[in-house]
Amino acid sequence: MWNRKAPEDVCDNYALRLENALEVAEGGKTASLDPDVRAHLVHCERCRSAFEDAGLSRTLLRWGIEPAEPRFGFSTRVLAAIRAEQETRASAATIFWRPVENLAARVSIAAATAVLLLSFYVYAFVAPLNRSAESAQDIPAALVPQPEIRPAPQTKDDVLMYLAERDNGR
């Protein structure tokens, strides 16, 4: 609010206090000003001039401002224009977005179906293999049947006898 042409004319110590004093003195209550500020305004010509100029500027601005009263039917016209704009935007959005929305719905249904089928496959076929491997690890070694360990055949007759016993020599 201070005179912007010459900011060096206003004392730095009193700039904010004078702004507050201007707010207080708006209604012509110069008597209610801080005594220190009032004394400074009496002794400092530059601050007094800036204070009076700012007060005059506020007064002139207030005189030039007339409250604007809306004419009859203003709110009705504004609301009608808003509704028309919303309808225009909705119809324009429908032309482009409706097919995209339909496609997105179909893709999401297909993706959900694929996830459901894959989870069923994993549960029914892959998980039992993993469960049987895990359960075999949990069984104590004493309960698991151990294959019979025989020494390797030393002669050709031992090889023939080994194959005959295992039904591999058919």
> How many other C-beta atoms can be found within 10 angstroms of the C-beta atom of residue 56?
10
Evaluate whether residue 19 is within a structural domain. yes
pTM for this predicted structure: 0.31
Residue 91 lies in a domain: no
Alpha helices in the chain, H assignment, sequence order: 15-24, 35-43, 45-64, 74-121, 127-138, 156-165
How much is the pLDDT for 3? 44
Q: Does residue 76 lie within any of the structural domains?
A: no
Q: Is position 97 within any domain?
A: no
C-beta contacts of 68-74 below 8 A and 24+ residues apart: none
- Give the pLDDT of residue 140: 66
Task: Tell me whether residue 149 is in a domain.
Answer: no
pLDDT at 122: 85
State the residue range of the domain holding 29.
7-64
Domains identified in the chain, total number = 2
- State residue 142's pLDDT score: 66
132 in a domain, yes or no? yes
Q: What is the mean pLDDT of each run of 10 residues along the chain (170 residues)?
A: 45 71 61 73 82 81 75 90 88 75 93 94 75 60 70 82 70
Q: Is there a contact between 36 and 49 (Cβ–Cβ < 8 Å)?
A: no
71 located within any domain? no
Per-residue model confidence (pLDDT) at position 98: 78
Q: What is the pLDDT of residue 1?
A: 44
Supply angle C-alpha 81, 83, 84, rounded to 5. 65
- Determine, yes or no, domain membership for 27: yes
Look at residue 64 in the predicted model and tell me its pLDDT. 73
**DSSP code of 55?**
H
Both 11 and 60 in a single domain? yes
